[in-house]
């Protein structure tokens, strides 16, 4: 069997292993707010979903379209998360495949193993959002761009352009990584630039714009497309970087590995590895640094926005430890030739062993603890709801609506939904304040107690009102006057 086919089979094996690992982690845990929003957006005819993507919901479009198709197969919480798991599996397979092409088998296998055990990767492997697919698209785009520099072909140009457009259309901030990558590749390969390469590069950029533009069009119509993010501070920066790396221990391992990898790239003589190494550093460090710098002007310091860097942090870290082992092996005297291979692999095996021990100890074969449990909150209310009671939802909360379902005896106080809109207008609570006063019991759903409506504030201030928390989902039980 040729090396090309062997590499494809090994990459596919890592992808399948990641998929199986994801299936053990999806659990039937309830959706948290953003996951429920994903499900809510796709719970409409395709034409209406396209209108929402075009005019109201910028980003996540490719993921929503895949989820729209998959929801016709299953509607369970665990079943829907399979779409996210598939994205993580593609990301791992692509990272392994490109790592083998550029740096050999040791780096490829180590990259796949480290990525599969990384807590940051595992978190977004099963979350019902598009961040696992952002990793996949970014890895394919960056890898194809490197191959385009090394071997100019129309195929690489088209794949790079399509994947980059999909990545930016899924997570807008991915554009920072690609800008840094473009500058890095231009700097390392400017001596070999010719008309053919420039033509292919132009096609790549044009394709990415054509694909991404319709997916980001909603920014023209609706403000507030980005998460509300507090100002960037030193403490938030450090905490976010720890989270992006996978935790404090993972962060220091990555710093050491990437530092050694940087040195190895500087001293490399082989053109392919030097170009690929620069690209890996651009995606692992450069794009991350660019988003951090911008965050001091426009707060964007959100852990999930750094998803495109995850596969390249793993690749660069393992590449550094493999380079350290090979350097140590090269320094052995001739009489220790039999020890060269074990010494060359020792740093990588040692790091992966430590990561594996942490992986097993933390019990990451189970789904992560959720910060809220909206399903339990709804079950709590349904078990206590009687005729004459009223249910109130204080703010647009798809997570609550997901589990409240179609209950004709429970009026959550919303206007009928317009399927062509992402959200629909809420009935002012003042319009039915008298109805709330006459109810036997009022059940109030709030989300973390933020931005309460004045009518709701007066309700929960009644004597005898009791609060029950389900993480960030809160239920107030308000007795009649």
Q: What is the pLDDT of residues 108-129, one digit of tens each?
A: 999 999 999 999 999 899 999 9
Cα 356 from Cα 256, distance rounded (Å): 18
Model pLDDT, residue 402: 65
CB 215 within 8 A of CB 53: yes
Cα 19 from Cα 111, distance rounded (Å): 16
What's the gap between Cα 294 and its chain centre?
20
Instruction: Return the higher-pLDDT residue of 324 and 192.
Output: 324
Model pLDDT, residue 454: 78
What SS3 string covers the chain? CCHHHHHHHHHHHHHHHHHHHHHHHCCCCCCCHHHHHHHHHHCCCHHHHHHHHHHCCCCCHHHHHHHHHHCCCCCCHHHHCHHHHHHHHHHHHHHHHHHHHHHCHHHHHHHHHHHHHCHHHHHHHHCCCCHHHHHHHHHHHHHHHHHHHHCCCHHHHHHHHHHHHHHHHHCCCHHHHHHHHHHHHHHHHHHHCCHHHHHHHHHHHHHHHHHHHHHCHHHHCCCCCCCCCCCCCHHHHHHHHHHHHCCHHHHHHHHHHHHHHHHHHHHCCCHHHHHHHHHHHHHHHHHHHHHHHHHCCCCCCCHHHHHHHHHHHHHHHHHHHHHHHHHHHHCCCHHHHHHHHHHHHHHHHHHHHHHHHHHHHCCCCCCCCCCECHHHHHHHHHCCCCCCCEEEECCCCHHHHHHHCCCCCCCCCECCCCCCCCCCCECCHHHHHHHHHHCCEEEEEEECCCCCCHHHHHHHCCCCCEEEEEECEEEEEEECC
pLDDT for residue 359 is more than 60: yes
Q: Region 59-67: what's the mean pLDDT?
A: 92
Cα 403 from Cα 252, distance rounded (Å): 41
Q: Which two tokens stand for residue 141?
A: 């785009």
Cα 66 from Cα 300, distance rounded (Å): 26
Return all residues near 268 (Cβ < 8 A) that are at least 6 apart.
274, 277
Name which of 397, 367, 371 is nearest 469 in CA terms.
371
Q: Which of 68-82, 268-282, 366-380 has the lowest mean pLDDT?
A: 366-380
Instruction: Return the higher-pLDDT residue of 330 and 186.
Output: 186
Cα 359 from Cα 469, distance rounded (Å): 31
Q: Which of 8-17, 42-51, 223-232, 274-283 has the lowest mean pLDDT?
A: 223-232
Q: Region 303-308: what's the mean pLDDT?
A: 93
Model pLDDT, residue 407: 55
Model pLDDT, residue 53: 85
- Which residue do the tokens 């005019």 mark? 55
Highest-confidence segment of 48-52, 283-287, 353-357:
283-287
pLDDT for residue 61 is more than 80: yes
Name which of 371, 369, 351 is nearest 359 in CA terms.
351
Residue 478 CB-density burial (10 A; 0-12 exposed, 13-18 middle, 19+ buried): buried
pLDDT for residue 73 is more than 80: yes
Model pLDDT, residue 45: 87
Model pLDDT, residue 30: 72
Q: Region 222-228: what's the mean pLDDT?
A: 55
pLDDT tier at 451, thresholds 50, 70, 90: low
Instruction: Return the higher-pLDDT residue of 432 and 86.
Output: 86
Return all residues near 66 (Cβ < 8 A) that are at least 6 apart.
83, 133
pLDDT tier at 399, thresholds 50, 70, 90: low
pLDDT for residue 442 is more than 50: yes
Instruction: Return the higher-pLDDT residue of 321 and 349.
Output: 321
Model pLDDT, residue 432: 67
Residue 386 CB-density burial (10 A; 0-12 exposed, 13-18 middle, 19+ buried): exposed
pLDDT for residue 39 is more than 90: no
Highest-confidence segment of 61-70, 221-230, 326-335, 406-415:
61-70
pLDDT for residue 4 is more than 60: yes
Model pLDDT, residue 332: 84
- Total Cβ atoms within 10 A of residue 39: 19
Side-chain half-sphere exposure of 130, counting CA atoms within 13 A: 25
pLDDT for residue 8 is more than 90: yes
Alpha-carbon distance values, 7 to 40, 93, 95, 279, 453 (Å): 40, 10, 11, 21, 58
Q: For all residues of the chain together, what is the average pLDDT?
A: 84
Model pLDDT, residue 263: 94
Model pLDDT, residue 401: 66
pLDDT tier at 366, thresholds 50, 70, 90: very low
Q: What is the pLDDT of residues 348-357, one digit of tens each?
A: 888 888 888 7
Q: Region 69-97: what's the mean pLDDT?
A: 94
pLDDT for residue 369 is more than 60: no
pLDDT for residue 414 is more than 80: no
Q: What is the pLDDT of residues 143-184, one digit of tens each?
A: 999 999 998 999 999 999 999 999 999 999 999 999 999 999
Largest interatomic CA distance in the chain? 92
Q: Which residues of 267-306 are buried (b: 16+ CB within 10 A; e: fewer)?
A: ebeeebbbbbbbbbbbbbbbbbebbbeebeeebbbbbbbb
Walk across the sheet containing 473-479 and list its strands.
390-393, 441-447, 473-479, 466-470
pLDDT for residue 465 is more than 90: no
Model pLDDT, residue 222: 58
- Which residue do the tokens 């940051």 mark? 120
């Amino acid at each position: 069997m040729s090396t090309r086919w062997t590499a494809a089979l090994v990459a596919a094996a890592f992808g399948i292993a990641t998929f199986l690992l994801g299936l053990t982690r999806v659990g039937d845990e309830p959706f948290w707010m953003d996951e429920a929003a994903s499900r809510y957006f796709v719970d409409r005819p395709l034409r209406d979903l396209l209108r929402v993507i075009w005019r109201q919901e910028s980003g996540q479009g490719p993921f929503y379209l895949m989820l729209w198709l998959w929801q016709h197969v299953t509607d369970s919480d665990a079943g829907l998360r399979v779409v996210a798991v598939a994205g993580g599996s593609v990301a791992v397979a692509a990272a392994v495949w490109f790592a083998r092409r550029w740096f050999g088998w040791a780096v490829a296998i180590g990259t796949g193993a480290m990525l599969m055990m990384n807590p940051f990767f595992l978190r977004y492997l099963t979350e019902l959002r598009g961040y696992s697919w952002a990793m996949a698209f970014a890895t394919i785009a960056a890898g194809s761009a490197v191959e385009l520099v090394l071997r100019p072909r129309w195929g690489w140009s088209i794949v790079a352009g399509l994947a980059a457009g999909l990545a930016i259309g899924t997570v807008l901030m991915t554009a920072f990584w690609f800008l840094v990558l473009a500058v890095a590749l231009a700097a390392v390969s400017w001596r070999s630039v010719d008309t053919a390469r420039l033509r292919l590069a132009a096609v790549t950029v044009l394709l990415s714009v054509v694909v991404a533009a319709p997916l980001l069009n909603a920014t023209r119509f609706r403000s507030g497309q980005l998460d509300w993010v507090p100002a960037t501070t030193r403490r938030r920066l450090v905490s976010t970087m720890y989270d992006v790396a996978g935790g404090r221990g993972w962060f220091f391992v990555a710093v050491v590995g990437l530092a050694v990898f940087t040195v190895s790239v500087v001293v490399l003589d082989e053109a392919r590895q030097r170009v690929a190494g620069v690209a890996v550093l651009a995606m692992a460090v450069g794009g991350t640094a660019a988003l951090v710098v911008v965050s001091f002007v426009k707060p964007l310091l959100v852990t999930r926005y750094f998803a495109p860097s995850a596969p390249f942090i793993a690749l660069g870290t393992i590449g550094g430890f493999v380079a350290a082992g090979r350097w140590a092996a090269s320094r052995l005297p001739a009489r220790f030739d039999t020890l060269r291979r074990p010494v060359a692999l020792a740093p990588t095996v040692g790091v992966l062993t430590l990561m594996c021990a942490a992986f097993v100890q933390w019990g990451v074969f189970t789904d992560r603890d959720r910060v809220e449990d909206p399903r339990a909150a709804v079950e709590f209310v349904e078990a206590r709801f009687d005729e004459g009671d009223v249910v109130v939802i204080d703010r647009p909360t798809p997570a609550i609506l997901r589990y409240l379902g179609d209950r004709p005896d429970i009026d959550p106080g919303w206007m009928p939904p317009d399927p062509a809109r992402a959200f629909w207008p809420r009935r002012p609570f003042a319009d039915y304040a008298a109805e709330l006063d006459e109810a036997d019991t009022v059940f109030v759903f709030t989300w973390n107690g933020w931005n309460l409506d004045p009518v709701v504030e007066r309700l929960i201030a009644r004597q005898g009102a009791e609060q029950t928390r389900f993480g960030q989902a809160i239920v107030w039980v308000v007795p009649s006057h």
